[in-house]
Amino acid sequence: MIIVTSAAGHTGSIIVKYLVDKGYPVTATDINPKVADLPGIQDSIVGDLTDLSVQHKVIDAADVLVYIPPLFSAEEALIGKSLIDLAAAKPLQQFVFVSVTHPILSSLLQHIAKRDVEEHLIYTGMSTQLPYTILQPMHYMHNFDPNQVKKTGEYQIFYSLDGRVAYVDPLDVSEVVEKVIADPKKHNKATYELVGTQPYTPKQLVTMFNAYTGLNAKASYISPDQFLDQIGAQDLYFRAGFHQLADSYSQWGLDGNPNVLTMLLGRKPHSFEDYLKRELG
């Protein structure tokens, strides 16, 4: 059984659908009860991964764990390390950690946590021979919602309109997850950086959107606090992490190299234009 965590989120639900469509038996787990409604799954586990009993339930049910960390959780590093320890003690057939590009960056709280989890996974893999693969996706394309931009005529973003960020299509990440699961020996103890595009500013994203749709949408800056209030995020750690993200993207952006993803896919990664065509028709 393959268990996917954070399965009710954007990335998790896309990975679950991809694996289900490929015929894999999937159990989806999330703190959100809506995870039980994901089509095609064999089972669901609703629970908070900060609860050790929930972690035991997840690991007991798993042969393969696709671990997607919860978003901006103050306990993210503790959750990941505990799951790794339980996975090694079982032992699991395979531990796939969906991390982030450049976890070494100290300007981003969520990167620091993933760096610590990666380190623990590598040490554990060496000491126990727990089979693992680390995937490091770039900023996901679904963070730009073309249907919302089409509806409102505006792309509101919480970092500088000149901040340059690269992207990856979550479908490409899903395809890599499936390839890793299908051949665990080949990908054991590998770390793969998954970058799909060159870096784009919010202005450039909207320019490509307008070129495809014939519309005249605009990119506009809103403060991180405005954005967080709009999505109802009141958790202090979440808000602090988001401020760091906004500051880091504004000052440095985020980018990388698509060679590894191209090699894994055996083709060029999907472009931003490909994503727009798929989402808008």
CATH of domain 2-138+168-194: 3.40.50.720
Predicted local distance difference test score (pLDDT) of residue 120: 98
Q: List, for the chain, all residue ranges whose pLDDT scores fall below the cut of 50.
A: none
The one-letter amino acid at 12: G
Q: Which of 273, 142, 167, 130 is nearest to 210 (CA)?
A: 273
Predicted local distance difference test score (pLDDT) of residue 52: 97
Residues 6+ apart with CB under 8 A from 89: none
Domain ranges of the chain: 2-138+168-194
Predicted local distance difference test score (pLDDT) of residue 69: 97
**C-beta neighbour count of 56 within 10 angstroms:** 12
* Cα of 98 vs its chain's centroid, Å: 6
Predicted local distance difference test score (pLDDT) of residue 246: 95
Predicted local distance difference test score (pLDDT) of residue 10: 94
**pLDDT tens, position by position, 73-119:** 999 999 999 999 999 999 999 999 999 999 999 999 889 999 999 99
Place of tokens 């967080």: 228
Predicted local distance difference test score (pLDDT) of residue 220: 97
Q: Which two tokens mark 50? A: 């900060």
Predicted local distance difference test score (pLDDT) of residue 64: 98
Place of tokens 């070129």: 211
Predicted local distance difference test score (pLDDT) of residue 164: 98
Rounded Cα–Cα distance for residues 237 and 246 (Å) = 14
Predicted local distance difference test score (pLDDT) of residue 77: 97
Rounded Cα–Cα distance for residues 107 and 139 (Å) = 15
Q: What angle do CA 122, 125, 130 make, to 5 degrees?
A: 140
Model pTM score: 0.96
Predicted local distance difference test score (pLDDT) of residue 54: 98
Q: Which two tokens mark 47? A: 């629970």
Residues 6+ apart with CB under 8 A from 185: 131
